[in-house]
Chain A
């Protein structure tokens, strides 16, 4: 019998089929979810906001490509994670920041935080958050000189001033605070992508519907901020729409590799983020605490994962479900 099909047969362990989902498709969904906030940043802060985002994306892709090349590893730019980091970092910057400072941030995010620890999935803190923190302690003044948008549809150049949280922190005149509706839409001072709560929420809903993220972390985070504000007698609506809560809770705290796996872990993580954010806002000297809260909870993530692993619980005699 001269049938030679057998040398062509592939032997592999089951399963022999896999889902069509890939890392790039997940990252693409995140990018799509960031588009409403990107558009709003252009409307609120003008063309410089758009250019800032493009600069950060290009710089992140470059650093990702160059560092992988230098480390003699396969290129990973096609997984689009560098694009996501670039967009998120730019969203955390004032639109009038010098571009070279933003590029320094991109270097920190991609090279120091991500690639030096092994690349995608290996970083233990969120690259964009860490880069923002490095920038804020390195370039304190430009990083906190916020352009204040004119009221809706004004063509005039933005002037700078404190963010709503800054006004609050310095004990400023509450009458100068923007209305909650302005906060919701995003026509207030702040980092270029963080101000429009409505745009970020839209993106968040998209991610939940597409099952890219679980709503557990954002809900626990935002819910904790809300309750904390109520307890200390401040306006909870103001606190959840002001500053970086929406951006942080929906896009940064949900970063897969720096947040817990289990549902319970995610709730603990979200509550932790909310608590630290509000402690810094209410008792600290910084006006805003979202970045620090996420960074600190990132570091706790391995411990939360261990404590919330359903299998460890089972060993102690509990049921699996």
Chain B
């Protein structure tokens, strides 16, 4: 059913090299370094002490704040240190666990009893779930908007529009039953009538399999998205799935939707069925200096370099290591950071790949504006930011920019337009302080 126009989108080479590689379980490492900040919101406080023996699935960090999500360990062993160290999110408390490889299960890992919406939301919180698509926003907050009764559509994000990453694709193939059951559980407990699973049409296997599984569930629709970037951006996906545009400054729930990543739903359903919280993460390891690219299931807290070593190590000195995909992922400066909940890929590249082309003058070609899914005018934003013109930046709606990077990608002058938008947004947030 085509009842609306598409938003602008761009062609980005897919590089889905690992699509056919089944997820491997990485063995428990000798040590886990579990950060107390793996989400947007209040940091967790460690609830274990040095010397404590912890078991698989045991909660080790929590917070009283509403916008926060508890943190669990995925390995049994002894807490050897709790100290503030640099993580990929900044300097925060990190719990170090020396694992004993026995993988003893924590007694508290039992399937939760769900009776109503409140017990469901409590279970979501206890599962430690955050948005695994990348935003890391605590899921129990997202599932509890003020106007839940107005939400009529659950939108599931299986687009995976970032190049290289195939972990969601593997999840959809390998955990398709968990996914569909999870969708049904969310719909039932939150009282949502319809669900749409959006998948880019470069994943025909996943589409076929999920269509097969939902052929008797008319309330769940499998939506084939065009294989264009950024189909998996929240606002774009909502528009493609429902024809509704989230206005500036509003949330998905304001247009009657809740959006969740497919990996998040699978993690939630695992918790609902077994009581095992989010302690491991599926991720894609790829890039042109990785010896054996893989799809891995890794315990949260594993150091990145150990993940790399498990994949055969680097074939050349990496010049860029990305947490996430090449379009929106973060370039990290230390491979001793550990894996956190929202990691869906670790990519490593050589110097040639990482060197950005020289910037030249803007020729006003308008490609950035045509590429922007939200119709922003990046060149005008860049000019306004250069002049530090707060009023103009607001007028040009800089705050709706989702930093998808499409403008930078298409620019023939190689201008870092998306980065400029990021700076401009900070400038506006700080009220125009120069």
Contacts and interface: CB of A to CB of B under 8 A. Distances in A.
B163 interface: yes
Interface stretch (A18-26, A178-186, A227-235, A237-245): A18-26
B286 to A, nearest CB: 13
Nearest to A27: B363
A121 B333 contact: no
A310 B395 CA distance: 11
Nearest to B360: A23
Nearest to B164: A17
Interface stretch (A134-142, A144-152, A286-294, A312-320): A312-320
Interface stretch (B141-149, B169-177, B272-280, B320-328): B320-328
A18 B407 CA distance: 9
Nearest to A320: B375
Given A14-B403, A321-B5, A26 B410 contact: no
A257 B320 CA distance: 35
Interface string B335-366: 11000000000000101001111001111111
A12 B357 CA distance: 13
B285 interface: no
B356 A120 contact: no
A256 B408 contact: no
B409 A17 contact: yes
Between A9, A11, A122, A314, the greatest number of chain B beta carbons within 10 A of the residue's beta carbon is seen for A9
A8 interface: yes
B309 to A, nearest CB: 10
B327 A17 contact: yes
Given A3-B305, A18-B409, A315 B327 contact: no
Contacts of A11: 331-333
Interface residues of chain A: helix, strand, loop or mixed (majority)? loop
A96 interface: no
Interface residues of A, number: 42
A25 to B, nearest CB: 7
Given A17-B327, A312-B395, A9 B245 contact: no
B327 A15 contact: yes
Contacts of B363: 23, 26, 81, 120-121, 256-257
B412 A120 contact: no
Given A121-B363, A262-B369, A319 B319 contact: no
Interface residues of chain B: helix, strand, loop or mixed (majority)? loop
A119 interface: yes
Interface string B390-425: 000001110000010100111111101011001000
Contact of A9 (B319, B327, B412): B319
A153 B225 CA distance: 56
Given A16-B331, A17-B327, A309-B377, A261 B409 contact: no
Interface string B369-399: 1000011110110000000000000011100
A18 B326 CA distance: 9
B405 A15 contact: yes
B317 A5 contact: yes
Contacts of B354: 10, 12, 16
Between B13, B365, B369, B422, the greatest number of chain A beta carbons within 10 A of the residue's beta carbon is seen for B365
B391 to A, nearest CB: 11
A22 B357 contact: yes
Interface string A110-149: 0000000011111000000000000000000000000000
Contact of A309 (B320, B331, B396): B396
A13 interface: yes
B335 A14 contact: no
Contact of A261 (B349, B377, B412, B413): B377
B329 interface: yes
A315 B397 contact: yes
Contacts of B193: none
A120 B412 CA distance: 13
B314 interface: yes
A6 interface: yes
Contacts of A22: 357, 360, 412-414
Contacts of B5: 321
Interface of A: 3, 5-6, 8-19, 21-23, 25-26, 76, 79, 81, 118-122, 256-257, 261-262, 305, 309-312, 314-315, 319-321
Q: Which 8 pairs across A and B sit closest by C-beta, in order of nearness?
A: A15-B405, A13-B419, A257-B364, A261-B366, A16-B326, A121-B361, A121-B363, A17-B326
7 contacts: A10-B355, A19-B409, A23-B363, A118-B361, A122-B361, A261-B366, A261-B369
